[in-house]
Structure 1
């Protein structure tokens, strides 16, 4: 599943800090998927994911902030659902939301820039799997791939990722004001990559 020719080349061309902001923004957008699943299935603590996201945003502009990554990795692992334990589709996007944060923390800890880039692919994969789950169409594999790629939810995902990338490319100085405004915008949009609204607490 590709987005635009040259898209990942552009993401890879970002510096480490820009890549991190891009990935944190995508993880924030996946949070409602976990929150809704947690509420409906009474599993896990969404506050853990929210805390990790808050700290990650802060670490993007506060260089003195030290994250105890090992502790948060352990907490996230404990709050990641196992698909085998649940007979609802929602477990998959919830699992992806938690896995994205685990991958991002591990990538930051090891300074593995390629794994930070992969958050973009994971978000798109969540969307592709969602479209597959809600679609009742009969077609061959190639035609179905095209169907997914051109589905409105995927078009929205591609558009958002591209807009986010453009915004970061155009803002080489990622100061506190920029980071806080971006975080506020995503949270206030109140909708996930698969159209899940942030649930009422």
Structure 2
């Protein structure tokens, strides 16, 4: 789905740029996680939102000291176990957590593959929803789906923005606005509170 050219570009991002790419995808996928928490009455949403705020705080104010190793340990308790829930929503919530893990890796022990992993996870989340809705489709049918078109367009715009990003406050704010995607997730989910 992502062209080899896109994957090369993702691999060439600095670890700072990789972390921002993961953060933007995580922000966009957040409604999937938060809706799941609401649906099963898991009270993880405020902890998850606090963690997202810390990531943005660190991105917007790089001098702020945040212990992401400690945050990562706390985050483990927020990851839902798919065996415990008999509902589809646990999988998009889990995908969102995978992208958070990519972000932690980019911040703590970067390998240079975090952005690509996050990118593929977000896209796979969209594809699994479409498979659930429509069954198996040809690649041509998949590429014609609105959610796939929007996902690829979003990731392409995000990559362009991050490659040109000045690490100043205004451009970081532009990144945050793009990532928030008007409160609509990669699966088209919108929580009324965020809209």
Q: Is the 8 A contact 1:123 1:193 kept in 2?
A: yes
Deviations 1:116-174 (A, max 9, x none): 4311111111111111111145x6xxx3x443343221111001100111122233x22
SS of equivalent to 1:200: helix
TM-score, normalised by the number of residues in structure 2:
0.89
- The whole-number CA distance in structure 2 between the counterparts of 1:75 and 1:132 is 33
Q: CA deviation at 1:41?
A: 0.8
Specify the alignment match of 1:55 in structure 2.
54
Specify the alignment match of 1:178 in structure 2.
171
Aligned pair count reads 194
CA shift in 2, pair 1:98/1:77, >3 Å: same
SS of equivalent to 2:37: helix
Superposition pairs of residues 132-151 of structure 1, within 5 angstroms:
132-136=131-135, 143=138, 145-151=139-145
Deviations 1:50-95 (A, max 9, x none): 2222111222232222222222222221111111111111110011
Q: Is the 8 A contact 1:76 1:102 kept in 2?
A: no
- The whole-number CA distance in structure 2 between the counterparts of 1:29 and 1:69 is 21
- The whole-number CA distance in structure 2 between the counterparts of 1:34 and 1:92 is 9
Q: CA RMSD in A?
A: 2.0
Specify the alignment match of 2:14 in structure 1.
15
Q: CA deviation at 1:25?
A: 0.5
- Of stretches 147-156 and 187-196 in structure 1, the one that deviates more from structure 2 is 147-156
- The whole-number CA distance in structure 1 between the counterparts of 2:112 and 2:55 is 16
SS of equivalent to 1:6: helix
Q: Is the 8 A contact 2:11 2:113 kept in 1?
A: yes
Q: CA deviation at 1:185?
A: 4.1
- The whole-number CA distance in structure 2 between the counterparts of 1:44 and 1:131 is 28
- 2:161 aligned to 164, 167, 185, which one? 167
- The whole-number CA distance in structure 2 between the counterparts of 1:165 and 1:103 is 16
1:94 aligns with 2:101: no
- Of stretches 35-44 and 183-192 in structure 1, the one that deviates more from structure 2 is 183-192
- The whole-number CA distance in structure 2 between the counterparts of 1:136 and 1:14 is 35
1:191 aligns with 2:184: yes
CA shift in 2, pair 1:8/1:36, >3 Å: same
Q: Which runs of 5+ in 1 are unaligned?
A: none
Specify the alignment match of 1:128 in structure 2.
127
Q: Which runs of 5+ in 2 are unaligned?
A: none
